[in-house]
C-alpha cells in the first residue's frame, strides 16, 4: 500500500473510531440508572423481580460493583449498588451454590490492570477532543479555503507543459512575436548586453477559438520555466480588497520562482476601464486592477516575471493597462486564412479516418471564417456522424452535414413544408444562387438546401471567391445584390413576398450603412460619420455626444435607402434575364432538396444533374487529380 493510499484511508479510519466512540457515549448517556440500597436489593431478590445480574469485584475498594435489570425495566434502564467483598450472599451467587432464577455474569477486576482503566475511562474523551481539533484545523488549512481569502488562486504547472509550437498550427507571425520571450527566459544576458528590455507583458487579442490560450501554453512548454495560470474572474470576490490581496500574493510567489511566466486568461473580467457604467465604478474590481497596475510597473522592481494575458474584448480594457511598461506588446491572433486552416485541419485530422476522396486543401477552401476551434468541432461532428451511420471512414457527406450543423444547427427532418412553402423556399434560395453565378463580386455558392435548420427554412452556403483584407465598392454593392436576390426571386415568380428574407435584409442594411457612415462610399463624401457601435458600457452609450446633426442623420438614411433600392432594381433585372436558370435550379431543388457546388456547376453547363455513372467517373477523375497534386507537392 503506497503512502498516498495510506493518507487517504487514515481520515476514514479515524472518523469511524470517532463515530463508534460517540455512539458509546450517547448510549451511556441515554441509559437510566437506578441506585438501589441493600434492603431494596434484597426485597427485589425475595420477590423474584431480578432478570439478570452482573458482578464486578473491585479489590482496591473491597467492594462488589453490581448492576442488573429487573423484569419491569425498560430496555435502557438498569440498577446499580455496591456491596462489601465479605458479603456471603453474593459469594454464594458467584460460586453457584444458590440458584435464584436469573442469569448471572461475573467480570474480572478492571482495577487489576491500570492501563485498561485508563483506556476505558480516558480514551473516549481523548478521541473526542482529538477529533474536534482535527476537524477545526482541517477547516482552517485543508481543502476548504474559507480562511484563505487573500491567497492567490494562480496554479503552478509543476510537471511542465508538453505543448510546444509544433502543436500550434498556423499563427506563424504570432509565434515569431512571442519567440523573443522564450529567448529572453533562456538567455537573458544576450538582451541585457545590448541594453534591450524585454516586454513585461504581452496581450493576446483575437476572436474566441483562435488559439490564444494554446499559444500561451506553447510558450510555457518551449521556455521550460515555472508557469502560473489564472483566470481574470478568480481575482474578483464579494469583499472589497480580496482581489488586490490575491494579486500581491500571486506576484510574491512568482518572484520566488523568477524567471517565470504568468498567464491571465480573460483579463477583461478584471481589467475593464475604470469609472464606467450607469452605476459608477466597481470598487472590488477597480482596486484589483489598481494593484495589478502597480505590481506590473510601479515603484517596486519586478524583474524576471513576464505576464501573458488573453482577451477577445480589448476595447473594454483600461488605457493604463495597455501603456508601455505594462502590456508593451499586443499580438493579434486573427482568424486563420486558407493556408493556416489547412495546417490546423492536419493537426486535428491525425486521429481521424478520412475517405480517400477528401483533401484537406479543399476543406480549408470551403471554410472561410472558421476559427481553429470551429475546425476541430467540424471534424469531430463529422466523425460522430460517420460512427452513427456505421461507416468505416469519414466521407464528404459527413463533412457537408457537419458543416451545416456547425453553422445552422441540426436538420429538422420532421418539419414538413406545404407544397406552396417548399416552392417558395426553393425559388428564394435559387435566387441567391443565380446572383452568385452571374456577378463576380457576389459570393460563390457552395451549397443550397431547402431542408429547415435552426430558424431558417433553408439556406444557401456562400463563400467569398477570394479571401482578401479589403473590399472595393463594387464588391460590396454586388454582395448586397446577392443578399437581396432571394426576396427579388419571390416577387418575380410569385408576385408576392414572404418573411424569409429578414436575415438577408439585416446583413444588407449593415453593409449599406457601413458604406455610408464608415467607408465614405456615398454622395456624402469621404467622412467617418459614425464609429462602430459596439461599446459595452451602457452608461457610455447613454452619455456619448452625437457628432452629426439631425439633417446629416436624415441624409444618411436617404443614402442607405438609395443604395438598397438601386441594388434591388439591378438584382431584379438580373433575375428576369436569367429566369430559365432560376427555374432550373429551383426545380432541381424541389426534387433533390440539397445540391452542392459541383452539382450546380454541372447543372449550369448541361441543364441537368449528372447520372450515377457520370458521378462515379467525375469522382475517379477528381481523386486522380488530387493524387497528382499530392505527388507534385511531395
Question: Annotated catalytic sites, by residue?
Answer: 429
Rounded-to-integer distance, Cα 614 and Cα 621, Å: 10
Rounded-to-integer distance, Cα 396 and Cα 599, Å: 14
Rounded-to-integer distance, Cα 180 and Cα 173, Å: 12
For residues 608, 610, 611, 615, the Cα torsion angle rounded to the nearest 10 degrees is: -170
Closest alpha carbon to 445 in 402, 482, 481: 482
Closest alpha carbon to 372 in 114, 101, 161, 167: 167
Sign of the four-CA dihedral 339, 344, 347, 348: negative
Rounded-to-integer distance, Cα 429 and Cα 589, Å: 9
H-state helical runs in 224-333: 242-256, 283-296, 319-322
| Beta carbons within 8 Å of 391's beta carbon, 6+ residues apart | 398
Strand segments, DSSP code E, in 199-353 are 201-205, 227-231, 260-265, 305-311, 329-332
DSSP character string of 283-295: HHHHHHHHHHHHH
Q: Tell me which residue has cell 427579388.
A: 488
Q: Given 3-state DSSP classes, what are the helix, strand and coil percentages for the chain, each rounded to the nearest 5?
A: 55, 15, 35
Q: Which three cell numbers stand for residue 115?
A: 492501563
3-state class of 510 per DSSP?
A: helix
DSSP 8-state secondary structure symbol assigned to residue 241: T
Rounded-to-integer distance, Cα 552 and Cα 520, Å: 14
Amino acid at each position: 500500500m503506497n503512502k498516498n493510499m495510506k493518507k487517504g484511508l487514515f481520515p476514514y479510519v479515524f472518523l469511524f473510531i470517532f463515530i463508534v466512540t460517540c455512539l458509546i457515549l450517547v448510549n451511556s448517556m441515554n441509559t437510566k440508572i437506578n441506585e438501589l440500597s441493600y434492603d431494596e436489593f434484597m426485597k427485589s431478590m425475595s420477590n423474584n423481580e431480578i432478570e439478570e445480574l452482573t458482578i464486578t469485584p473491585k479489590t482496591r475498594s473491597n467492594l462488589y460493583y453490581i448492576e442488573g435489570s429487573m423484569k419491569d425495566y425498560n430496555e435502557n434502564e438498569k440498577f446499580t449498588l455496591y456491596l462489601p467483598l465479605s458479603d456471603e450472599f453474593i459469594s454464594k451467587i458467584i460460586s453457584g451454590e444458590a440458584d435464584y432464577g436469573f442469569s448471572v455474569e461475573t467480570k474480572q477486576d478492571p482495577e487489576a490492570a491500570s492501563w485498561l482503566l485508563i483506556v476505558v475511562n480516558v480514551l473516549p474523551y481523548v478521541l473526542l477532543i482529538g477529533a474536534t481539533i482535527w476537524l477545526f484545523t482541517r477547516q482552517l488549512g485543508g481543502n476548504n479555503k474559507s480562511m484563505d481569502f487573500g491567497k492567490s488562486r494562480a496554479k503552478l504547472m509543476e510537471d511542465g507543459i508538453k505543448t510546444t509550437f509544433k502543436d500550434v498550427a498556423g499563427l506563424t507571425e504570432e509565434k515569431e512575436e512571442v519567440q523573443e520571450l522564450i529567448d529572453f527566459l533562456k538567455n537573458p544576458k544576450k538582451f541585457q548586453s545590448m541594453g534591450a528590455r524585454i516586454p513585461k507583458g504581452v496581450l493576446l487579442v483575437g476572436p474566441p477559438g483562435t488559439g490564444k490560450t494554446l499559444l500561451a501554453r506553447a510558450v510555457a512548454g518551449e521556455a521550460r520555466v515555472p508557469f502560473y495560470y489564472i483566470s481574470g474572474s478568480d481575482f474578483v470576490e464579494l469583499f472589497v480588497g480580496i482581489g488586490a490581496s490575491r494579486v500581491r500574493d500571486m506576484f510574491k510567489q512568482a518572484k520566488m520562482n523568477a524567471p517565470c511566466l504568468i498567464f491571465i486568461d480573460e483579463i477583461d473580467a478584471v481589467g475593464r476601464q475604470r469609472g464606467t457604467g450607469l452605476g459608477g465604478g466597481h470598487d472590488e474590481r477597480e482596486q484589483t486592477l489598481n494593484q495589478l497596475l502597480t505590481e506590473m510597473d510601479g515603484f517596486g522592481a519586478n524583474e524576471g516575471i513576464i505576464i501573458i494575458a488573453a482577451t477577445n474584448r480589448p476595447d473594454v480594457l483600461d488605457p493604463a493597462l495597455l501603456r508601455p511598461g505594462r502590456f508593451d506588446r499586443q499580438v493579434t491572433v486573427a482568424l486563420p486564412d486558407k493556408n493556416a486552416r489547412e495546417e490546423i485541419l492536419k493537426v486535428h485530422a491525425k486521429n481521424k479516418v478520412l475517405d480517400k476522396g477528401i483533401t484537406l486543401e479543399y476543406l480549408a477552401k470551403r471554410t472561410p471564417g472558421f476559427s481553429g476551434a470551429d475546425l476541430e468541432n467540424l471534424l469531430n461532428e463529422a466523425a460522430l456522424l460517420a460512427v452513427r451511420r456505421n461507416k468505416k471512414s469519414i466521407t464528404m457527406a459527413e463533412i457537408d452535414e457537419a458543416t451545416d450543423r456547425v453553422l445552422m444547427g441540426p436538420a429538422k427532418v420532421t418539419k414538413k413544408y406545404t407544397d406552396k412553402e417548399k416552392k417558395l423556399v426553393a425559388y428564394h434560395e435559387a435566387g441567391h444562387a443565380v446572383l452568385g453565378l452571374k456577378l463576380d463580386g457576389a459570393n460563390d455558392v457552395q451549397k443550397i438546401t431547402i431542408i429547415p435548420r435552426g430558424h431558417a427554412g433553408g439556406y444557401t452556403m456562400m463563400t467569398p471567391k477570394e479571401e482578401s483584407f479589403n473590399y472595393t465598392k463594387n464588391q460590396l454593392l454586388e454582395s448586397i445584390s446577392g443578399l437581396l436576390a432571394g426576396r427579388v426571386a419571390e416577387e418575380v415568380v410569385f408576385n408576392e413576398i414572404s418573411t424569409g428574407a429578414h436575415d438577408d435584409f439585416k446583413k444588407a442594411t449593415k453593409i449599406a450603412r457601413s458604406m455610408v457612415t464608415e467607408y465614405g462610399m456615398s454622395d456624402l463624401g469621404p467622412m467617418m460619420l459614425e464609429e462602430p457601435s459596439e461599446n459595452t458600457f451602457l452608461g457610455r452609450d447613454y452619455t456619448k455626444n452625437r457628432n452629426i446633426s439631425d439633417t446629416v442623420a436624415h441624409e444618411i438614411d436617404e443614402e442607405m435607402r438609395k443604395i438598397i433600392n438601386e441594388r434591388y432594381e439591378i438584382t431584379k433585372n438580373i433575375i428576369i434575364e436569367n429566369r430559365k436558370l432560376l427555374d432550373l435550379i429551383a426545380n432541381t431543388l424541389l426534387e433533390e432538396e440539397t445540391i452542392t457546388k459541383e452539382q450546380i456547376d454541372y447543372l449550369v453547363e448541361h441543364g441537368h444533374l449528372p447520372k450515377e455513372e457520370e458521378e462515379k467517373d467525375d469522382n475517379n477523375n477528381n481523386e486522380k487529380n488530387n493524387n497528382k497534386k499530392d505527388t507534385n507537392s511531395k
